[in-house]
Structure 1
Amino acid sequence: MQLAIRHQTIYRYSAPLTYTIQQLRLTPRTELLQRVLSWQIRTGGHQHAYTDAYDNPSHMLTITGQHHEVAIIAEGLVDVRRPYRGRMTDYQPLSPLIFTVATRLTEPGQQITDFARQHLQSGTSIDTSTLLNLAAHICGAVSYQSGATLVTTTANDALALGQGVCQDHAHVFLACCHARNIPARYVSGYIDSGSSGYAESHAWVDVWAEESDYSGWISIDVTHACLMSDAYCRLAIGRDYDSAGPVRGVRRGGGNETLSVMVEVTPTATNGDMLVE
């Protein structure tokens, strides 16, 4: 499937800024199942392109001089293919063991440890069905509620609250995996949401599965308790939102901030629903 994507982010300020620096992970990854046909990021200021520690294409944006807003528009066309049974078969230079390390957002507390013990029991084969079952239970425990949490909300807080959004579902899943020493990583990106009502800017997970015919990463959308398909575009991977989120930064000045985000994902063509085995 080909996805036409437009992601507009505008920060507006009540007083002038004198300096802005933003880390942008707004360029889709080039992977076996994903090919970028065209892409551009339009902003003011200066962009410096680089590749981060997780092999994500990234930009450092700096804006100097007085300004009252920061506008970032990323758009283009991406060709994506549906992975066979969610399996991500790219060569990965990083050891999966680095994704067993918890972060501030994914450190499992007692409630998550108990939850993981219940749904990822010792001795249970870590196969696709087990992991999808965990995702379904997380959806049941943390209902989708826009605005209930912040990007700084931890997995422990989201599970205790019982509400959250896709990044919270992903963080709770990662924390459960950390509690059982299972490699799992955060994925940021986009989804052709169709009529689901969920935001088109999305987050999900890759988790290490061990099956009779496969050992490696599978990609699971925790919010929908399903495997990744060709309706998904992958931007970045990391240990959590902080290391894979689309935009992060700091500013000097500015007073009060208001944020406006608009994401459009439109399927434009199919590629015969090809599978990669």
Structure 2
Amino acid sequence: MLLTIRHETVYRYTEPLTYTIQQLRLSPRAEPQQRTLDWRITSSGVHHPFNDAFGNLCHMLTITGQHNEVRIVAEGSVVVAPLHLGRLSQAGEFLPLVFTVPTQLTQPSPAIIDFAHRHLIRAANSDNLLALATAICDAVAYQSGATLVTTSADDALRLGQGVCQDHAHLFLACCHALGIPARYVSGYIDPGNSDHAESHAWVDVWIVQPDFSGWISVDVTHARFASDVYCRLAIGRDYDSAAPVRGVRRGGGSETLSVRVNVTATASDQ
């Protein structure tokens, strides 16, 4: 599948800033199932590329001098190959156990541990993981604006509402409660006819089955395996370690954020 993507992020401020620094994870990962045909990130300031601890291609954006707006546009095209049952062919650089460490956003609470034991009662396999995803969607209804990027898995479970990152965090917390390696994925999706955003979050889970051992990619929000309409930007332990844009500023007063993402999928013979 050929995915044509445009992602615009605009920060506007009521007072001038004198300095902005942003860490950008806005470049598709180099992985066997996806190939970047062209990609560019445009903004004011200076970009310095680097690879973070999880092998994600990042850029450090710095803007000096007075400015009232920060506009970042990432756009390009990526060819993604079909995935059989969400299976990834690359194991990666790290031992899977690296992704059994809970974070502040994915710490299993007693309620999550109970939820995990009720909905993932056997060893991790493809069917069980989709069943867990379905249970999470039933317990945490998709509701845009219901939570913040600082909302933990336990908070989302108690609230009963959230978005894709909350579904991913709760899924990770359930896996960690049972010692199953799982990692957070940020990226883009062609949402089709759904009302979900093109900017998306899902999970990779390490499974050991008679016919396959490795990572499988699960879209918790849609309770399905990731496929060739998913473009992967970054992996990490949670949103904080895979966020598309994070940073700090000096000055600016009040901030207003506007994000527009458009993903178009077309059949590809490349």
TM range (shorter): over 0.9
The alignment of Structure 1 onto Structure 2 pairs a total of residues equal to 270
Q: What secondary structure sits across from 2:180 in the alignment?
A: coil
- TM alignment of 1:212-231, pairs within 5 A: 212-231=210-229
8 Å contact from structure 1 (residues 5, 264) kept in 2: yes
- TM alignment of 1:1-277, pairs within 5 A: 1-121=1-121, 124-271=122-269
Superposition TM-score, scaled by structure 2 size: 0.99
Structure-1 separation of matches of 2:123 and 2:92:
23
8 Å contact from structure 1 (residues 81, 271) kept in 2: no
Q: Deviations over 1:238-273 (max 9, x none)?
A: 00000001000001100000000000001133249x
Structure-2 separation of matches of 1:134 and 1:271:
35
Structure-2 separation of matches of 1:127 and 1:169:
19
Q: Deviations over 1:129-178 (max 9, x none)?
A: 00110000000000000000000000000000000000000000000011
Letter in 1 for 2:178: R
Letter in 2 for 1:84: H
Q: Please list every run of 5 or more consecutive structure 1 residues that lacks an aligned counterpart in the other structure.
A: 273-277
Q: Deviations over 1:198-255 (max 9, x none)?
A: 0000000000112111111000000000000101000000000000010000011000
Structure-2 separation of matches of 1:164 and 1:271:
37
Letter in 1 for 2:75: E
Structure-2 separation of matches of 1:197 and 1:144:
10
Structure-2 separation of matches of 1:93 and 1:129:
27
Structure 1 moving runs of 4+ over 2 Å: 268-272
Structure-1 separation of matches of 2:187 and 2:203:
11
Structure-2 separation of matches of 1:20 and 1:113:
40
Structure-1 separation of matches of 2:209 and 2:91:
18
Q: Give the C-alpha shift of residue 91 in structure 1.
A: 4.0
Letter in 2 for 1:166: C
8 Å contact from structure 1 (residues 24, 247) kept in 2: yes
Structure-1 separation of matches of 2:125 and 2:268:
30
8 Å contact from structure 1 (residues 154, 171) kept in 2: yes
Letter in 2 for 1:47: H
Q: What secondary structure sits across from 2:53 in the alignment?
A: coil
Q: Give the C-alpha shift of residue 119 in structure 1.
A: 1.2
Letter in 2 for 1:9: T
8 Å contact from structure 2 (residues 205, 215) kept in 1: yes
8 Å contact from structure 1 (residues 148, 163) kept in 2: yes
